Amino acid sequence: MISFTALENFLNSNDEKSVWILGKEYDSVKDHDEILKDIRSRLWFTYRRGFSPIRDDSGPTSDTGWGCMHRCGQMMIAQTLVILHLSRDWRWNPDKFDEDYQRILKMFEDRPSAIYSIHSIASKAAFNDADRKITDWLGPSTAAQVFKKLVTGDRWTNLAAHVAAEDGIVVQEIKNLCYHNEQSQNYDASTEMNDSSWERLSRSRHERKINHFPSYYDNRALIVSNPISVEQDDEFVEIIMPPVCNVPSSPSDNEDAHPRSSDSVNSEACPAFTSTALSLKWRPLLLIIPLRLGLHELNMMYAPHLMNLFKLRQCVGILGGRPMRALWLIGNIDDKEVIFLDPHITQPAAIFSQSSPEAFSSLEASFHCSSFQQLPLNLLDPSLAAGFVCPTENDFDALCEDLKKTGIAPALFEVHDIRPSYLPPPSFSAVDTPEGWGEVCTSVSAPHLQHDSSYMSSSGVKTGSNGDFEML
Protein backbone atom coordinates (compact mmCIF):
# COMPACT_ATOMS: atom_id res chain seq x y z
CA MET A 1 0.00 0.00 0.00
CA ILE A 2 1.40 3.39 -1.01
CA SER A 3 1.24 6.07 1.67
CA PHE A 4 0.22 9.44 0.24
CA THR A 5 0.60 12.73 2.08
CA ALA A 6 -1.98 15.47 1.73
CA LEU A 7 -0.40 18.47 0.05
CA GLU A 8 -2.52 20.88 2.08
CA ASN A 9 -0.72 19.70 5.24
CA PHE A 10 2.59 20.57 3.65
CA LEU A 11 1.38 23.97 2.42
CA ASN A 12 0.10 24.85 5.89
CA SER A 13 3.56 24.40 7.42
CA ASN A 14 5.90 27.33 7.98
CA ASP A 15 8.87 25.68 6.28
CA GLU A 16 9.78 27.51 3.09
CA LYS A 17 10.43 25.08 0.27
CA SER A 18 10.73 25.33 -3.48
CA VAL A 19 7.69 24.04 -5.37
CA TRP A 20 7.72 23.45 -9.13
CA ILE A 21 4.46 22.86 -11.02
CA LEU A 22 4.65 22.29 -14.78
CA GLY A 23 7.41 24.81 -15.43
CA LYS A 24 6.48 27.39 -12.77
CA GLU A 25 8.35 27.90 -9.50
CA TYR A 26 6.65 28.85 -6.23
CA ASP A 27 7.61 29.43 -2.63
CA SER A 28 5.58 27.11 -0.41
CA VAL A 29 4.86 29.87 2.13
CA LYS A 30 4.75 33.10 0.13
CA ASP A 31 2.87 31.60 -2.84
CA HIS A 32 0.46 29.40 -0.90
CA ASP A 33 -2.70 30.69 -2.62
CA GLU A 34 -1.14 30.71 -6.09
CA ILE A 35 -0.07 27.09 -5.72
CA LEU A 36 -3.63 26.09 -4.86
CA LYS A 37 -5.08 28.08 -7.77
CA ASP A 38 -2.60 26.57 -10.20
CA ILE A 39 -3.28 22.98 -9.20
CA ARG A 40 -7.06 23.48 -9.07
CA SER A 41 -6.95 24.87 -12.60
CA ARG A 42 -5.54 21.63 -14.01
CA LEU A 43 -8.19 19.43 -15.60
CA TRP A 44 -8.70 16.37 -13.41
CA PHE A 45 -10.10 13.14 -14.85
CA THR A 46 -11.22 10.25 -12.68
CA TYR A 47 -13.05 6.97 -12.92
CA ARG A 48 -16.65 7.42 -14.10
CA ARG A 49 -19.72 5.20 -13.95
CA GLY A 50 -22.98 5.05 -15.85
CA PHE A 51 -21.77 5.88 -19.36
CA SER A 52 -22.93 4.00 -22.46
CA PRO A 53 -21.31 0.57 -22.98
CA ILE A 54 -17.91 0.65 -24.66
CA ARG A 55 -17.79 -0.97 -28.11
CA ASP A 56 -21.01 -3.03 -27.83
CA ASP A 57 -24.01 -3.57 -25.56
CA SER A 58 -22.07 -6.02 -23.39
CA GLY A 59 -19.19 -3.60 -22.88
CA PRO A 60 -18.30 -1.93 -19.56
CA THR A 61 -20.26 1.10 -18.35
CA SER A 62 -17.62 2.10 -15.80
CA ASP A 63 -13.83 2.23 -15.91
CA THR A 64 -13.36 1.78 -12.17
CA GLY A 65 -10.45 -0.57 -11.50
CA TRP A 66 -8.90 -0.49 -14.95
CA GLY A 67 -9.04 3.00 -16.47
CA CYS A 68 -6.62 4.96 -14.28
CA MET A 69 -3.90 5.27 -16.93
CA HIS A 70 -6.57 6.18 -19.49
CA ARG A 71 -7.62 9.04 -17.20
CA CYS A 72 -4.03 10.13 -16.53
CA GLY A 73 -3.46 10.29 -20.27
CA GLN A 74 -6.56 12.44 -20.56
CA MET A 75 -5.08 14.83 -17.99
CA MET A 76 -1.84 15.15 -19.97
CA ILE A 77 -3.70 15.76 -23.23
CA ALA A 78 -6.06 18.24 -21.55
CA GLN A 79 -3.10 20.21 -20.19
CA THR A 80 -1.70 20.31 -23.72
CA LEU A 81 -4.98 21.72 -25.04
CA VAL A 82 -5.22 24.26 -22.21
CA ILE A 83 -1.75 25.60 -23.04
CA LEU A 84 -2.50 25.82 -26.76
CA HIS A 85 -6.01 27.27 -26.55
CA LEU A 86 -6.03 29.09 -23.20
CA SER A 87 -2.37 29.54 -22.09
CA ARG A 88 -0.32 28.18 -19.20
CA ASP A 89 -1.39 31.13 -17.02
CA TRP A 90 -5.10 30.41 -17.46
CA ARG A 91 -6.98 29.91 -14.19
CA TRP A 92 -10.33 28.25 -13.76
CA ASN A 93 -13.15 30.61 -12.74
CA PRO A 94 -16.48 28.79 -12.21
CA ASP A 95 -18.35 32.10 -12.45
CA LYS A 96 -16.95 33.02 -15.85
CA PHE A 97 -18.07 31.55 -19.18
CA ASP A 98 -15.15 30.48 -21.37
CA GLU A 99 -16.10 29.02 -24.74
CA ASP A 100 -12.72 27.45 -25.49
CA TYR A 101 -12.55 25.91 -22.03
CA GLN A 102 -15.96 24.31 -22.46
CA ARG A 103 -15.01 23.10 -25.91
CA ILE A 104 -11.98 21.37 -24.44
CA LEU A 105 -14.10 19.69 -21.76
CA LYS A 106 -16.52 18.34 -24.36
CA MET A 107 -13.67 16.57 -26.13
CA PHE A 108 -13.38 14.33 -23.04
CA GLU A 109 -17.05 13.55 -22.48
CA ASP A 110 -17.89 9.97 -21.58
CA ARG A 111 -19.50 9.15 -24.92
CA PRO A 112 -18.18 7.31 -28.00
CA SER A 113 -18.11 10.30 -30.36
CA ALA A 114 -15.83 12.45 -28.17
CA ILE A 115 -12.26 12.34 -29.47
CA TYR A 116 -10.54 11.74 -26.13
CA SER A 117 -13.33 9.87 -24.34
CA ILE A 118 -12.79 6.71 -22.34
CA HIS A 119 -14.62 4.95 -25.19
CA SER A 120 -12.13 6.22 -27.79
CA ILE A 121 -9.07 5.38 -25.69
CA ALA A 122 -10.15 1.86 -24.74
CA SER A 123 -11.39 1.04 -28.24
CA LYS A 124 -8.23 2.30 -29.91
CA ALA A 125 -6.00 0.36 -27.48
CA ALA A 126 -7.92 -2.85 -28.19
CA PHE A 127 -8.00 -2.13 -31.93
CA ASN A 128 -4.20 -1.93 -32.01
CA ASP A 129 -3.74 -5.25 -30.18
CA ALA A 130 -6.03 -8.19 -30.89
CA ASP A 131 -5.05 -9.82 -27.59
CA ARG A 132 -5.96 -6.77 -25.53
CA LYS A 133 -9.35 -6.54 -23.86
CA ILE A 134 -11.29 -3.31 -23.48
CA THR A 135 -10.82 -3.44 -19.71
CA ASP A 136 -7.06 -4.11 -19.78
CA TRP A 137 -4.87 -1.70 -17.83
CA LEU A 138 -2.43 0.34 -19.93
CA GLY A 139 1.22 1.07 -19.26
CA PRO A 140 2.59 4.59 -19.81
CA SER A 141 4.17 3.84 -23.18
CA THR A 142 1.08 2.07 -24.53
CA ALA A 143 -1.09 4.98 -23.43
CA ALA A 144 1.26 7.36 -25.23
CA GLN A 145 0.92 5.42 -28.48
CA VAL A 146 -2.87 5.40 -28.18
CA PHE A 147 -3.08 9.17 -27.69
CA LYS A 148 -0.65 9.69 -30.56
CA LYS A 149 -3.29 8.15 -32.81
CA LEU A 150 -6.28 9.87 -31.24
CA VAL A 151 -4.90 13.38 -31.79
CA THR A 152 -5.22 12.88 -35.55
CA GLY A 153 -8.96 13.39 -35.11
CA ASP A 154 -8.52 16.75 -33.39
CA ARG A 155 -8.61 19.14 -36.35
CA TRP A 156 -9.16 22.14 -34.09
CA THR A 157 -5.77 21.78 -32.43
CA ASN A 158 -3.97 20.21 -35.42
CA LEU A 159 -1.34 18.59 -33.21
CA ALA A 160 1.75 16.83 -34.45
CA ALA A 161 2.26 14.02 -31.93
CA HIS A 162 5.51 12.10 -31.59
CA VAL A 163 6.34 9.27 -29.19
CA ALA A 164 10.09 8.81 -28.87
CA ALA A 165 11.63 5.35 -29.01
CA GLU A 166 15.18 4.17 -28.42
CA ASP A 167 16.41 6.92 -30.73
CA GLY A 168 15.43 9.68 -28.28
CA ILE A 169 14.83 13.09 -29.87
CA VAL A 170 15.97 13.49 -33.48
CA VAL A 171 15.43 17.21 -34.06
CA GLN A 172 15.41 17.17 -37.85
CA GLU A 173 12.79 14.43 -38.10
CA ILE A 174 10.48 16.00 -35.53
CA LYS A 175 10.65 19.31 -37.39
CA ASN A 176 9.72 17.48 -40.58
CA LEU A 177 6.68 16.09 -38.77
CA CYS A 178 5.60 19.50 -37.47
CA TYR A 179 5.92 21.17 -40.86
CA HIS A 180 3.99 18.42 -42.62
CA ASN A 181 0.35 19.57 -42.52
CA GLU A 182 -2.12 16.80 -43.26
CA GLN A 183 -5.16 19.02 -43.65
CA SER A 184 -6.02 22.55 -44.65
CA GLN A 185 -4.81 25.01 -42.06
CA ASN A 186 -8.18 26.77 -42.23
CA TYR A 187 -10.13 23.58 -41.58
CA ASP A 188 -12.21 23.78 -38.41
CA ALA A 189 -14.33 20.63 -38.24
CA SER A 190 -16.38 19.40 -35.32
CA THR A 191 -14.36 18.11 -32.39
CA GLU A 192 -16.10 14.77 -32.80
CA MET A 193 -15.13 11.83 -34.95
CA ASN A 194 -16.81 8.44 -35.05
CA ASP A 195 -14.91 5.25 -34.32
CA SER A 196 -14.75 3.97 -37.90
CA SER A 197 -13.40 7.29 -39.16
CA TRP A 198 -10.40 7.45 -36.85
CA GLU A 199 -9.71 3.74 -37.31
CA ARG A 200 -9.49 4.26 -41.09
CA LEU A 201 -7.32 7.32 -40.58
CA SER A 202 -5.04 5.44 -38.21
CA ARG A 203 -4.68 2.54 -40.65
CA SER A 204 -3.78 4.83 -43.53
CA ARG A 205 -1.15 6.64 -41.45
CA HIS A 206 0.27 3.31 -40.25
CA GLU A 207 0.53 2.00 -43.82
CA ARG A 208 2.33 5.13 -44.99
CA LYS A 209 4.74 4.84 -42.06
CA ILE A 210 5.60 1.21 -42.75
CA ASN A 211 6.10 1.57 -46.49
CA HIS A 212 8.31 4.65 -46.53
CA PHE A 213 11.97 4.99 -45.64
CA PRO A 214 13.71 8.40 -45.72
CA SER A 215 15.80 9.00 -48.80
CA TYR A 216 18.86 9.19 -46.55
CA TYR A 217 18.66 5.38 -46.22
CA ASP A 218 17.18 4.48 -49.63
CA ASN A 219 20.41 3.31 -51.25
CA ARG A 220 21.81 1.36 -48.33
CA ALA A 221 21.07 -2.22 -47.33
CA LEU A 222 19.36 -2.89 -44.05
CA ILE A 223 21.17 -5.41 -41.88
CA VAL A 224 18.67 -7.31 -39.75
CA SER A 225 19.68 -10.00 -37.28
CA ASN A 226 18.37 -11.56 -34.09
CA PRO A 227 14.68 -11.96 -35.05
CA ILE A 228 11.88 -11.18 -32.62
CA SER A 229 12.40 -13.11 -29.39
CA VAL A 230 10.47 -13.40 -26.17
CA GLU A 231 12.16 -13.41 -22.78
CA GLN A 232 10.82 -13.19 -19.24
CA ASP A 233 11.87 -10.90 -16.44
CA ASP A 234 12.14 -11.95 -12.80
CA GLU A 235 8.38 -11.65 -12.36
CA PHE A 236 7.71 -13.83 -15.43
CA VAL A 237 6.43 -10.89 -17.44
CA GLU A 238 7.11 -11.31 -21.14
CA ILE A 239 9.59 -8.87 -22.66
CA ILE A 240 9.65 -8.87 -26.45
CA MET A 241 12.91 -8.03 -28.18
CA PRO A 242 12.44 -6.33 -31.57
CA PRO A 243 14.55 -7.38 -34.55
CA VAL A 244 17.97 -5.77 -34.54
CA CYS A 245 18.48 -3.43 -37.47
CA ASN A 246 21.52 -1.51 -38.61
CA VAL A 247 22.27 0.70 -41.60
CA PRO A 248 25.85 0.18 -42.75
CA SER A 249 27.91 3.22 -43.57
CA SER A 250 28.55 3.94 -47.22
CA PRO A 251 32.17 4.13 -48.39
CA SER A 252 32.01 7.92 -48.34
CA ASP A 253 30.71 8.09 -44.78
CA ASN A 254 33.03 9.38 -42.12
CA GLU A 255 32.79 10.64 -38.56
CA ASP A 256 32.48 14.25 -39.72
CA ALA A 257 29.54 13.47 -41.98
CA HIS A 258 27.74 11.29 -39.46
CA PRO A 259 28.82 12.20 -35.92
CA ARG A 260 27.76 10.04 -33.00
CA SER A 261 26.79 13.10 -30.98
CA SER A 262 24.51 16.06 -31.62
CA ASP A 263 25.71 18.27 -34.42
CA SER A 264 24.52 21.19 -36.48
CA VAL A 265 21.45 20.44 -38.59
CA ASN A 266 22.44 19.15 -42.01
CA SER A 267 19.66 19.47 -44.57
CA GLU A 268 21.44 17.12 -46.98
CA ALA A 269 21.22 14.30 -44.44
CA CYS A 270 17.45 14.65 -44.38
CA PRO A 271 16.41 16.01 -47.80
CA ALA A 272 12.71 16.13 -46.92
CA PHE A 273 13.34 19.18 -44.73
CA THR A 274 13.60 21.92 -47.38
CA SER A 275 12.90 25.60 -47.81
CA THR A 276 9.47 24.60 -49.09
CA ALA A 277 8.79 22.87 -45.80
CA LEU A 278 9.96 25.95 -43.94
CA SER A 279 7.26 28.00 -45.67
CA LEU A 280 4.56 25.82 -44.10
CA LYS A 281 2.95 26.59 -40.78
CA TRP A 282 4.36 24.84 -37.72
CA ARG A 283 1.93 22.40 -36.16
CA PRO A 284 2.01 22.43 -32.34
CA LEU A 285 4.09 19.49 -31.14
CA LEU A 286 3.09 17.02 -28.45
CA LEU A 287 6.23 15.07 -27.59
CA ILE A 288 5.96 12.05 -25.29
CA ILE A 289 9.10 10.24 -24.15
CA PRO A 290 8.64 6.83 -22.47
CA LEU A 291 11.28 6.12 -19.84
CA ARG A 292 12.41 3.05 -17.92
CA LEU A 293 14.54 4.27 -15.02
CA GLY A 294 15.33 0.99 -13.32
CA LEU A 295 14.24 -2.63 -13.48
CA HIS A 296 11.81 -3.20 -10.59
CA GLU A 297 12.21 0.06 -8.70
CA LEU A 298 13.26 3.59 -9.56
CA ASN A 299 17.04 3.98 -9.72
CA MET A 300 17.63 7.09 -7.63
CA MET A 301 20.66 8.10 -9.69
CA TYR A 302 18.09 9.43 -12.18
CA ALA A 303 16.19 11.41 -9.51
CA PRO A 304 17.76 14.87 -10.07
CA HIS A 305 17.16 14.69 -13.80
CA LEU A 306 13.60 13.44 -13.34
CA MET A 307 12.85 16.34 -10.99
CA ASN A 308 14.30 18.79 -13.50
CA LEU A 309 11.64 17.79 -16.02
CA PHE A 310 9.03 19.66 -13.96
CA LYS A 311 11.12 22.84 -14.27
CA LEU A 312 10.75 22.98 -18.06
CA ARG A 313 8.01 25.34 -19.25
CA GLN A 314 7.09 22.91 -22.02
CA CYS A 315 6.33 20.10 -19.54
CA VAL A 316 2.75 18.77 -19.49
CA GLY A 317 3.39 16.24 -16.75
CA ILE A 318 4.51 12.65 -16.43
CA LEU A 319 2.45 9.47 -16.64
CA GLY A 320 3.57 7.22 -13.81
CA GLY A 321 2.67 5.88 -10.39
CA ARG A 322 2.62 2.15 -9.71
CA PRO A 323 1.36 -0.84 -11.73
CA MET A 324 -2.44 -0.78 -11.67
CA ARG A 325 -2.34 2.57 -9.86
CA ALA A 326 -1.50 5.28 -12.37
CA LEU A 327 -0.96 8.91 -11.35
CA TRP A 328 -0.46 12.13 -13.27
CA LEU A 329 2.70 13.73 -11.91
CA ILE A 330 2.70 17.53 -12.22
CA GLY A 331 5.44 18.89 -9.95
CA ASN A 332 7.95 18.45 -7.18
CA ILE A 333 8.74 19.76 -3.71
CA ASP A 334 12.39 20.53 -2.99
CA ASP A 335 13.38 17.96 -5.62
CA LYS A 336 12.43 15.18 -3.17
CA GLU A 337 8.71 14.51 -3.56
CA VAL A 338 6.32 14.60 -6.49
CA ILE A 339 2.94 16.33 -6.62
CA PHE A 340 0.25 14.40 -8.46
CA LEU A 341 -3.43 14.25 -9.33
CA ASP A 342 -5.08 10.92 -8.53
CA PRO A 343 -7.79 9.45 -10.81
CA HIS A 344 -8.88 6.78 -8.32
CA ILE A 345 -12.23 8.30 -7.41
CA THR A 346 -15.44 7.21 -9.13
CA GLN A 347 -17.86 9.92 -10.23
CA PRO A 348 -21.02 9.86 -12.38
CA ALA A 349 -20.48 9.90 -16.14
CA ALA A 350 -19.80 13.34 -17.62
CA ILE A 351 -22.06 14.06 -20.59
CA PHE A 352 -22.61 17.77 -21.08
CA SER A 353 -25.25 17.47 -23.78
CA GLN A 354 -27.54 15.73 -21.29
CA SER A 355 -27.02 18.30 -18.54
CA SER A 356 -29.40 21.13 -17.77
CA PRO A 357 -27.91 24.65 -17.47
CA GLU A 358 -28.27 24.35 -13.70
CA ALA A 359 -26.43 21.04 -13.60
CA PHE A 360 -23.63 22.18 -15.89
CA SER A 361 -21.84 24.10 -13.15
CA SER A 362 -21.58 21.14 -10.78
CA LEU A 363 -20.54 18.85 -13.62
CA GLU A 364 -17.82 21.31 -14.62
CA ALA A 365 -16.57 21.40 -11.03
CA SER A 366 -16.07 17.63 -11.11
CA PHE A 367 -13.13 18.22 -13.47
CA HIS A 368 -11.18 20.22 -10.89
CA CYS A 369 -9.56 18.63 -7.86
CA SER A 370 -9.99 20.18 -4.43
CA SER A 371 -7.44 17.92 -2.70
CA PHE A 372 -3.86 17.27 -3.75
CA GLN A 373 -1.23 14.80 -2.66
CA GLN A 374 2.51 14.26 -2.66
CA LEU A 375 4.57 11.10 -2.90
CA PRO A 376 8.22 10.31 -2.07
CA LEU A 377 10.10 9.91 -5.31
CA ASN A 378 11.54 6.50 -4.43
CA LEU A 379 8.04 4.97 -4.35
CA LEU A 380 7.45 5.60 -8.05
CA ASP A 381 7.54 2.73 -10.52
CA PRO A 382 10.48 3.04 -12.95
CA SER A 383 8.15 2.95 -15.98
CA LEU A 384 7.16 6.52 -16.88
CA ALA A 385 6.26 8.72 -19.84
CA ALA A 386 7.17 12.42 -19.86
CA GLY A 387 5.13 14.83 -21.98
CA PHE A 388 6.04 18.18 -23.54
CA VAL A 389 4.13 20.65 -25.70
CA CYS A 390 5.86 23.04 -28.11
CA PRO A 391 3.44 25.56 -29.65
CA THR A 392 6.18 27.01 -31.88
CA GLU A 393 9.46 25.92 -33.41
CA ASN A 394 11.27 28.30 -31.05
CA ASP A 395 9.67 26.48 -28.12
CA PHE A 396 10.97 23.17 -29.45
CA ASP A 397 14.47 24.57 -30.01
CA ALA A 398 14.44 26.00 -26.47
CA LEU A 399 13.30 22.65 -25.06
CA CYS A 400 16.14 20.78 -26.75
CA GLU A 401 18.65 23.36 -25.55
CA ASP A 402 17.34 23.23 -21.96
CA LEU A 403 17.39 19.43 -21.95
CA LYS A 404 21.08 19.52 -22.77
CA LYS A 405 21.95 22.42 -20.46
CA THR A 406 20.33 20.78 -17.44
CA GLY A 407 21.90 17.40 -18.15
CA ILE A 408 18.52 15.70 -18.61
CA ALA A 409 19.91 14.75 -21.99
CA PRO A 410 21.79 12.45 -22.19
CA ALA A 411 21.07 11.20 -18.65
CA LEU A 412 17.46 10.14 -19.41
CA PHE A 413 17.48 10.15 -23.22
CA GLU A 414 19.53 11.57 -26.08
CA VAL A 415 18.97 14.61 -28.29
CA HIS A 416 20.37 14.42 -31.85
CA ASP A 417 20.23 17.17 -34.46
CA ILE A 418 20.19 14.54 -37.20
CA ARG A 419 19.89 10.76 -37.02
CA PRO A 420 23.31 9.20 -36.32
CA SER A 421 24.33 6.40 -38.65
CA TYR A 422 24.48 3.90 -35.78
CA LEU A 423 20.72 4.24 -35.08
CA PRO A 424 18.08 2.26 -37.01
CA PRO A 425 16.02 4.22 -39.55
CA PRO A 426 12.96 6.03 -38.18
CA SER A 427 10.49 3.57 -39.69
CA PHE A 428 11.78 0.95 -37.24
CA SER A 429 11.69 3.36 -34.31
CA ALA A 430 8.11 4.36 -35.10
CA VAL A 431 6.63 0.86 -35.33
CA ASP A 432 4.23 0.39 -32.44
CA THR A 433 3.75 -3.36 -32.04
CA PRO A 434 5.65 -6.64 -32.35
CA GLU A 435 3.41 -7.42 -35.34
CA GLY A 436 4.59 -4.18 -36.91
CA TRP A 437 8.22 -5.16 -36.43
CA GLY A 438 7.51 -8.35 -38.32
CA GLU A 439 5.93 -6.42 -41.20
CA VAL A 440 8.97 -4.18 -41.50
CA CYS A 441 11.35 -7.15 -41.38
CA THR A 442 9.53 -8.96 -44.16
CA SER A 443 9.67 -5.82 -46.31
CA VAL A 444 13.49 -6.03 -46.40
CA SER A 445 14.68 -7.98 -49.41
CA ALA A 446 16.42 -11.29 -48.72
CA PRO A 447 19.85 -10.44 -50.20
CA HIS A 448 20.17 -7.62 -47.68
CA LEU A 449 19.68 -9.82 -44.63
CA GLN A 450 22.98 -10.56 -42.94
CA HIS A 451 24.06 -11.53 -39.49
CA ASP A 452 25.61 -8.68 -37.53
CA SER A 453 26.47 -9.92 -34.06
CA SER A 454 28.40 -6.76 -33.24
CA TYR A 455 25.30 -4.54 -33.36
CA MET A 456 23.56 -6.37 -30.56
CA SER A 457 26.03 -5.09 -28.01
CA SER A 458 25.30 -1.49 -28.97
CA SER A 459 21.55 -1.86 -28.56
CA GLY A 460 20.34 -1.09 -25.05
CA VAL A 461 16.57 -1.35 -25.38
CA LYS A 462 14.06 -4.12 -24.97
CA THR A 463 10.48 -3.35 -25.87
CA GLY A 464 7.56 -5.16 -24.25
CA SER A 465 4.17 -6.00 -25.69
CA ASN A 466 2.52 -3.98 -22.94
CA GLY A 467 4.14 -0.83 -24.30
CA ASP A 468 6.89 -0.53 -21.70
CA PHE A 469 10.57 -1.23 -22.22
CA GLU A 470 13.62 -2.31 -20.31
CA MET A 471 16.88 -0.33 -20.38
CA LEU A 472 19.73 -2.79 -20.03
Contact between residue 47 and residue 109 where contact means Cβ atoms under 8 Å apart: no
258 is catalytic: no
CA–CA separation, 92 vs 98, rounded Å?
Answer: 9
Nearest to 378 by CA among 320, 418, 315: 320
Q: Which amino acid is at 397?
A: D
CA–CA separation, 35 vs 11, rounded Å?
Answer: 9
Nearest to 381 by CA among 454, 468, 285, 440: 468
Catalytic: which of 32, 85, 344, 368?
344
Strand partners, 415: 169
68 is catalytic: yes
Length reported for the chain: 472
The phi and psi torsions of 357 (rounded to 5 degrees) equal -55, -35
Catalytic: which of 38, 63, 68, 178?
68
342 is catalytic: yes
Contact between residue 245 and residue 224 where contact means Cβ atoms under 8 Å apart: yes
Angle, CA of 296, 63 and 148, to the nearest 5°: 65
Q: Which amino acid is at 5?
A: T
The three-state (H, E, C) secondary structure of 1-67, written as one string: CCCCEEHHHHHCCCCCCEEEECCEEEECCCCHHHHHHHHHCCCCCCEEECCCCCCCCCCCCECCCCC
Catalytic: which of 110, 167, 342, 395?
342
Catalytic residue positions, numbered = 68, 342, 344
